[in-house]
Amino acid sequence: MEIADRRTPTGDRRAPADEHGTPAGDRRTPAGEHRTPAGDHLTLAGLASDAWTLTDGTPRAVLGLAGPPGAGKSTLARALVAHLGEGAAYLPLDGFHLSNAQLERLGLTARKGSEPSFDVWGYVDLLRRVLDETGRDIYVPDYDRTLDEPVAARHVVPPAARLIVTEGNYLACDLPGWREAYVFMGECWYVEAPGDVRQVRLVERQLAGGRSEGEARKWVETNDDPNGELVVTSRGRCHRILSTIGMDMFNSQQ
């Protein structure tokens, strides 16, 4: 397996400036430490090795994987955690989907998966906890596609975990809540795939969830595609750009 790796332009991507300023408590490593890959491509082992160096000099670090729907974020996150073993743990943003009852209350049922349909502040608090509370188990929610609802405590961050791999569409977005989450990440990598590949993955995901082909395509067009357009605007805030083409052997989709 090879994963194309195109580094972001030189400069301090770890503390991007904006009109709001950098939030207090930025735990990221100092700027100017971008690593140079040995070649134009990196294996999973190479990416895992790079990710692990985020733990240098700190008890625990967080790696974020951002990117549009269907890009392969959860595939890569799970692969990295499996490769690194007990020293790594998985923390998906999907566990912070609002429940269907809350989406109905807020009028967001048809926009499930959009930026406002997540409990971003709960996510921020959990990132803070995994960095502060390194001596106890911390339970992590997930999203159950069969139930179509978030579920509590599906994953756990044990004390032995030194690298937390978190993934989700909006991790690099320059928006309230997401800015605060971003500063807890040692790095945030952007995961992308060609649009036609993502479309196939997204339609298959909706078909697996019980929608007809027409319903699946309409959902992708009216929900996933607009969500992806927002996510693309955060691409420049990421430390590394990765293509997931060649990762199909993991038999997982995001």
Q: Which tens digits make up the pLDDT trace of 93-110?
A: 999 999 999 999 999 999
245 falls in which pLDDT band (50, 70, 90)? confident
Interval 51-65: pLDDT, tens: 999 999 999 999 999
Parallel/antiparallel/unpaired status of strands 163-167 and 61-66: parallel
Provide φ and ψ at 246, rounded to 5°: 100, 0
Handedness of CA 56, 52, 235, 107 (dihedral sign): negative
pLDDT attached to residue 244: 78
Q: Taking the model in full, what pTM does it have?
A: 0.85
Q: Are the C-beta atoms of residues 35 and 50 closer than 8 Å to each other? A: yes
Residue 5 pLDDT more than 70? Answer: no
Q: Which residues contact 155 (CB under 8 A, 6 or more apart)?
A: 89, 90, 91, 92, 95, 139, 140, 141, 142
Q: Are the C-beta atoms of residues 5 and 242 closer than 8 Å to each other? A: yes
Strand order in the sheet with 187-192: 41-42, 3-7, 240-243, 187-192, 61-66, 163-167, 88-92
Interval 19-78: pLDDT, tens: 333 333 444 443 333 333 433 347 899 999 999 999 999 999 999 999 999 999 999 999
pLDDT attached to residue 247: 54
